[in-house]
Structure 1
Amino acid sequence: MIRFVHMLIFLCSCIYAIAQENKLFISDKLALEESRNFLLKSSFIESQNNSLTDFVYQRLEWQIDPAVRYISGKVTTHFKSQTELLNALQFDLSDSLTVDSVIIENNRVTFTHQNNKIEINLPEPLLFNQLDSASVIYHGVPTSSGFGSFETSFHGTEFTPVLWTLSEPYGALEWWPCKQSLADKIDSIDVIVTTPQQYKTASNGIVVSEQLNDTTRTMHWKHRFPIATYLVAIAVTNYERYSDYMETENGDSIEILNYVYPEDLEKAKEKTPVTAEIMQLYQNRIGEYPFAAEKYGHAQFGWGGGMEHQTMSFMGNFDYGLIAHELAHQWFGNYITPGSWQDIWLNEGFATYLTGLSYENIETDWWPVWKQVYSDQVKQQPDGSVYVTDTSSVDRIFSSRLSYAKGAYLLHMLRWVIGDEPFFQGLKNYFSDPAVANGFARSEDVIAHFEQAADTSLTEFFNDWLYGEGYPVYSATFKPGDEGKTLITLSQSTTHESVDFFEMPVPVRLYNAGRTDSLDVRLNHTSNQQQFLVNTGFHVAEAAIDPDLWLISATQEIVGVPAQIKTQTIAIFPNPATTEISLQIPSGKQISGIRIFEMNGAEVKHFVEQTAKINISDLAPGIYLVKAELAGGTFQGRFIKH
């Protein structure tokens, strides 16, 4: 048993090291300190008049050559006025790009382009809900921000060009005129990209046409679901294509379309089929894949992480963890999108935890490792909230420790607090809520669903774990009580002043000597130095706090306190005696040991057998002390040897 435990510890250590080395449990956007080659935009403020219009459709037409960092195109936007009298239309677009013209109703109209904004005066004011359209024709060399909003690179031994976009959080305006906002989803889009003939374009939705000319290829992608601006994307290179499928219960199938580099085709074909199994798990736990009418897919791109573009995730590799994470975003992040970057945990925390669920249910050997890696990551620093207070910092929004790891563990702890059935029912209810479906949500939306499913208030929990900082550090003592019970005293300190006490049910495992028996208890910890009397049925020799890693916590110390020994007087006769004495034992008691001491404290006899008669003929005359160990305490008395 001991050898097995040591082997298991060694194996877990090796797995942990491998996980860290291969970055199986890192964020899909990578830790920012590892991607300094990308320019991080220091700040961005969303347009204040995003609510004045509703973008109902955009037709995106581009000319792209991945060998050249350049874009030219035409973006036609159909929009509705959301005010009683709309006089002007606004787009976000980087000043590094040149606007050639703006066309409304086949006429060129005047505009200004400065401070990364296009301002267009409408020919005639629009009434509320009145529909109109405008086309922006532009070109230029996009700059890059965030994680690399518009990038060109190479792949393979022949250095084949590849181009991709990644607009999250604020990068879309770097390469196309848009509404850079979490206030409005585009109801539907068409993406039409013309490239040199040897290249193919990956994008959102499904391909409705692919035209080859003498030197060019034009691919037309159609997507008929609402989509947030930052999830619109293209990737262009000499892709190979193949499909996996997930069979549904009604006999249909969902296509999983893969665009991969030719040199990685065979390796990708080995790794991507697991997508269907993970998709089935997510459907069972949450609800039907939301874009089943079109497809899901992967497009390889030249970056170390991944990006969950709607219906087609861009993948730096096809490792299991990345596949599971990006797929999870289709439910949480794409179908339901946070209404503010303050609530990015609704994206990244959810996708990270769903990835954990895939380990719990599919790659089960990795589930303990997943919990250990992420709980350790959160505790690397003592502070930090899941809720983002500074949305001008890309670094903070996509904090691997807070938005991903702690956001995921918040859900894991919530599952422990309210139980599996309410937790997963709350997830399903949140996903199926028509108020947020295909739209935006804030933290209070998902909290309300968990509270309803659990039939309890979770205000204290979310105040501590979503808005508060730090985590609890526990200390405990345990000591035997009467009739097979154990008294546990549980205390905590916190690592950050924002939370004075984490009111949590704390899992504790109690062991007997040799760990041949154990008992799991759930202690509802609401105050410091709180005491719990537990009916264990065995003598507790060891205790462990949160052995299965349900909580973000640390353990300072666990101390076993011996039971108080009761000392009582025992009758000895004859007294004085010459050759033998007898001990008068209380009824129902058995002796487990007898010791005889001289009055100077020196032990002269020790018996372990259960006897009440003691031979003292070999003792020198004098006064002696007898101590008898019996169940319930120690009994002692004195006798005189003649």
Structure 2
Amino acid sequence: MKQRFTALQLFSFFKFYLVCLSFLVFALKTQAQRLTKEIHSCAAARISTTPALLADGITSIPHRELMRQYDLHWYKLDLNLERNSLNISGNVTLFASALVNTVSQFAFELHPNFTIQQVLLDGIPCTIRRNNSEVIAELPTAKRAQDKLLVQVFYEGRAPSGGSAAIGNGFNTATAQPWGQQVTWSLSEPFAASEWFPVKQLLSDKADSVTVWVTTDVSNKVGSNGLLQRITPMPNQKHRYEWKSNYPIAYYLISVAVGQYEEYSFDVAMPGAPKPVLVQNYLYPGALATFKTEIDRTGPFLQLFSELFGVYPFHQEKYGHSMAPIGGGMEHQTMTTQSTFEFTLTAHELAHQWWGDEVTNADWSHIWLNEGFASYSELLALERLWVGERLNWLNKANQNALVPMKGSVFVKDSTNVSRIFNSALSYDKGALVLHMLRRALQNDALFFRILRTYREEYKYKVATTRDFQRVVEQVSGKPFQYFFDQWVYGEGYPIFDVAWAQEGSQVYIRSIQSSSSSNTPLFTTDVEYKISTSLKDTVVRVQHTKQIEDYAFKISGTITGIEVDPDQWLLNSVSGIRQDASIIPPAQSEVLVLYPNPTSGQVSLKGRKGLPTQISIYDMIGRHIRTFTPSGSSFSIADLSSGAYLLKLMYAEESAQVRILKL
């Protein structure tokens, strides 16, 4: 999800901040408190100041354990809704299988604003117990493992409107300006689905399918998940929209949007899909003239992301949009809710269909697997379809991620909604983690193969950061524990203080690394330096593995400037770049120099008296490659793969170590 706010919407949101809800969390009563959410983050839900006791939601642990006694297969929502009301009535069917030997209680969640009229198990009434949003139905007959449970909940009431969720509530109504259109819509992420229907709010249990029926005034259209099966006439000038999706779906992605929409739809042909994909849009009357160009980008986005990530996950049904004044977008499965249309917003929400909808974070601590991936997809779309905006996007992402902040990309308090959807950490730094991983791999084909493998392995499932790390290591054949430890679980970013000096054709660079966070004092990373001279510009890539690194390069011409990370592949800050003759090492006869460095294969030795007795080559994680005795002052490493290597040179009374980059 991604948000853009108007002044009017911000005014409304600030009014919401005045009301708080209390939640029962494992016998500890905590006060939910409304906090401001960063401008281009996304979601709607509770904000809690409690410690991270509940990684999978805000429900109490005992209630959550009861919900884990069954596997949910199917929801059927049969509701009465209007475009200008928070009133909800109807029934919801939950079809499940028992997972334990004896299931005598069926637990679910529903906001206390709603009166439960009846709960039926296979048509037989159940007695119920309620504690705030937690509901337990006592089953008339206990179920054994693998037995089916068909539970139907009849209820009515008015959805909460106190603004205790991050953006509005789980169910909202408002007038969209300047269109003057009244709209009712849902926005359940991360914990607010229970504000409009009976639900099991555990990410690990995706429903296998969902049916959404909405009876409403004949002047309304209703957008929801999957394919529209039919529109059934009903008494009293009403009709029923009947939607059905046969794909697995997380609870927070089930959606409705009700308004006096106009439909604008088109088909998009894609390689890998057996038929064109329907793009179905429900728009405010008159909005098409304003947004048609941007909406039409959905076709190229679908084709591009299908090429990069694999065919659109829900191609047998549809993709589309329902407009609602939410100040941005929410990635409801197969039908995103958006308030407006612009390049990065539309790309972001579509990318969520892969990253968030098909593959979902296993709990909200790993939200970057949803939001960081969708945010990085904005850049991927720009690189292919609007290349001139690439650097602008990177500039903004880096600037936001470099704002002084505390915390890791991994969310330690997954009940704190403002932290879950922190713009700098979950979105921009999360996206830049992928950007840096792409550069660390030094192979775009390999990077996208990793994404496709990750997607294939966890399609319609949930995943954690370590799951993604395992796929990265499996596909690349390289260890990346250090990378995820420092960039996802660690904090901050490296800060470089750089000095340089030139002596003839030799340039010396000394880079001193500090960190913006004491929790991650050193970042092991490749760093690129752009060395500009009077004759040409050269970009060199080196490894930074300790606080102070010294490098030496051969150049042509006189240095006119040095730049750190010229193409913005690394999240970093530079405290200074200065010329400093004191870093020139002692006389060359005493100093060992390997050149050229980087090299395409041939390496020459210069400096120390005599040749080393032997040279050993290691990769940068310490694996021995070979040892040999040099026959002269030159030797070849042309057979090595591209990357950085450590050369250990043994002399009669001493040894030396030199890092070299093989192109």
TM-score by length of 2: 0.78
Report the equivalent of 2:206: 185
Of residues 556, 560, 571 in structure 1, which corresponds to 2:579?
560
Deviation at 1:123, TM superposition (A): 1.6
Structure 2 letter corresponding to 1:155: A
The whole-number CA distance in structure 2 between the counterparts of 1:396 and 1:33 is 19
Q: Is the 8 A contact 1:260 1:268 kept in 2?
A: no
Of residues 261, 274, 286 in structure 1, which corresponds to 2:284?
261
Report the equivalent of 1:88: 105
Report the equivalent of 2:82: 65
Q: Is the 8 A contact 2:413 2:419 kept in 1?
A: yes
Q: Is the 8 A contact 1:192 1:218 kept in 2?
A: yes
Report the equivalent of 2:194: 173
3-state SS in 1 of match to 2:488 = helix
Deviation at 1:363, TM superposition (A): 1.1
Report the equivalent of 2:567: 548
Deviation at 1:160, TM superposition (A): 3.5
Q: Is the 8 A contact 1:146 1:167 kept in 2?
A: no
Q: Deviations over 1:164-185 (max 9, x none)?
A: 0100000001111000111200
Of residues 137, 143, 168 in structure 2, which corresponds to 1:126?
143
Matched, 1:143 2:160: yes
3-state SS in 2 of match to 1:413 = helix
Identity of aligned residues (%): 31
The whole-number CA distance in structure 2 between the counterparts of 1:256 and 1:522 is 44
Deviation at 1:29, TM superposition (A): 7.3
Q: Deviations over 1:136-188 (max 9, x none)?
A: 00000111423221111113668442100100000001111000111200111
Q: Deviations over 1:260-289 (max 9, x none)?
A: 000212223222111111111111111110
Of residues 44, 50, 58 in structure 2, which corresponds to 1:45?
58
Of residues 438, 453, 470 in structure 1, which corresponds to 2:492?
470
Report the equivalent of 1:9: none
Q: Is the 8 A contact 2:58 2:191 kept in 1?
A: no
Of residues 541, 546, 557 in structure 2, which corresponds to 1:522?
541
The whole-number CA distance in structure 2 between the counterparts of 1:372 and 1:247 is 34
The whole-number CA distance in structure 1 between the counterparts of 2:224 and 2:586 is 79
Report the equivalent of 2:510: 489
Matched, 1:54 2:71: yes
Of residues 247, 253, 269 in structure 2, which corresponds to 1:231?
253
Report the equivalent of 1:448: 470
Q: Is the 8 A contact 1:146 1:168 kept in 2?
A: no
Deviation at 1:566, TM superposition (A): 12
Q: Is the 8 A contact 1:479 1:561 kept in 2?
A: yes
Of residues 519, 522, 539 in structure 1, which corresponds to 2:558?
539
Q: Is the 8 A contact 2:66 2:106 kept in 1?
A: no
Q: Deviations over 1:197-239 (max 9, x none)?
A: 1001000001001123450021000000110000001000001
The whole-number CA distance in structure 2 between the counterparts of 1:461 and 1:36 is 39
Q: Is the 8 A contact 1:383 1:495 kept in 2?
A: no
3-state SS in 1 of match to 2:475 = helix
3-state SS in 2 of match to 1:49 = helix
Of residues 421, 444, 453 in structure 1, which corresponds to 2:445?
421
Of residues 14, 19, 27 in structure 2, which corresponds to 1:36?
14
Deviation at 1:510, TM superposition (A): 0.1
The whole-number CA distance in structure 2 between the counterparts of 1:331 and 1:425 is 15
The whole-number CA distance in structure 2 between the counterparts of 1:407 and 1:30 is 22
The whole-number CA distance in structure 2 between the counterparts of 1:29 and 1:235 is 19
3-state SS in 2 of match to 1:221 = strand
The whole-number CA distance in structure 2 between the counterparts of 1:117 and 1:451 is 41
Matched, 1:374 2:397: yes
Q: Is the 8 A contact 1:200 1:217 kept in 2?
A: no
3-state SS in 1 of match to 2:454 = helix
Of residues 311, 331, 336 in structure 2, which corresponds to 1:288?
311
The whole-number CA distance in structure 1 between the counterparts of 2:562 and 2:414 is 43
The whole-number CA distance in structure 2 between the counterparts of 1:367 and 1:418 is 20
Deviation at 1:245, TM superposition (A): 2.2
3-state SS in 2 of match to 1:374 = helix
Of residues 82, 90, 93 in structure 2, which corresponds to 1:76?
93
The whole-number CA distance in structure 2 between the counterparts of 1:158 and 1:325 is 24
Q: Which moved more, 1:420-429 or 1:547-556?
A: 420-429
3-state SS in 1 of match to 2:166 = coil
Choose between structure 1 and 2 for higher RCO, CA contacts under 8 A separated by at least 6 residues: 2
Give the RMSD, CA atoms, in angstroms.
2.1
Q: Deviations over 1:357-403 (max 9, x none)?
A: 11111111111000000100011114321000111211110001110
Counterparts in 2 of 1:210 and 1:409: CA distance versus 1, 3 Å: same
Structure 2 letter corresponding to 1:534: F
Q: What 5-or-longer segments of structure 1 have no aligned partner?
A: 1-25, 568-642
Report the equivalent of 2:30: none
3-state SS in 2 of match to 1:348 = helix
Q: How does 1:153-164 map to 2 (within 5 A)?
A: 153-155=174-176, 159-164=180-185
Structure 1 letter corresponding to 2:166: G
Q: Is the 8 A contact 1:156 1:263 kept in 2?
A: no
Structure 2 letter corresponding to 1:229: Y
Q: Is the 8 A contact 1:146 1:169 kept in 2?
A: no
Report the equivalent of 1:365: 388
Q: Is the 8 A contact 2:204 2:461 kept in 1?
A: no
The whole-number CA distance in structure 2 between the counterparts of 1:273 and 1:476 is 47
The whole-number CA distance in structure 2 between the counterparts of 1:64 and 1:33 is 26
3-state SS in 2 of match to 1:77 = strand
The whole-number CA distance in structure 1 between the counterparts of 2:526 and 2:485 is 16
Counterparts in 2 of 1:244 and 1:268: CA distance versus 1, 3 Å: farther
Q: Which of the pair has more CA radius of gyration? A: 1
Counterparts in 2 of 1:487 and 1:157: CA distance versus 1, 3 Å: closer
The whole-number CA distance in structure 2 between the counterparts of 1:124 and 1:534 is 79
Report the equivalent of 1:431: 455
Report the equivalent of 1:352: 375
3-state SS in 1 of match to 2:286 = helix
Structure 2 letter corresponding to 1:519: T
3-state SS in 2 of match to 1:242 = strand
3-state SS in 2 of match to 1:533 = strand
The whole-number CA distance in structure 1 between the counterparts of 2:349 and 2:3 is 8
Q: Is the 8 A contact 1:29 1:398 kept in 2?
A: no
Q: How does 1:186-225 map to 2 (within 5 A)?
A: 186-213=207-234, 215-225=237-247
Structure 1 letter corresponding to 2:170: S
Q: Is the 8 A contact 1:29 1:307 kept in 2?
A: no
The whole-number CA distance in structure 1 between the counterparts of 2:384 and 2:5 is 25
The whole-number CA distance in structure 2 between the counterparts of 1:432 and 1:221 is 27
Deviation at 1:27, TM superposition (A): 3.7
Deviation at 1:83, TM superposition (A): 0.8
The whole-number CA distance in structure 1 between the counterparts of 2:570 and 2:338 is 31
Structure 2 letter corresponding to 1:460: Y
Report the equivalent of 1:98: 115
TM-score by length of 1: 0.80
Q: Deviations over 1:404-450 (max 9, x none)?
A: 011001111111111223221111110111xx210111111111111
Matched, 1:113 2:137: no
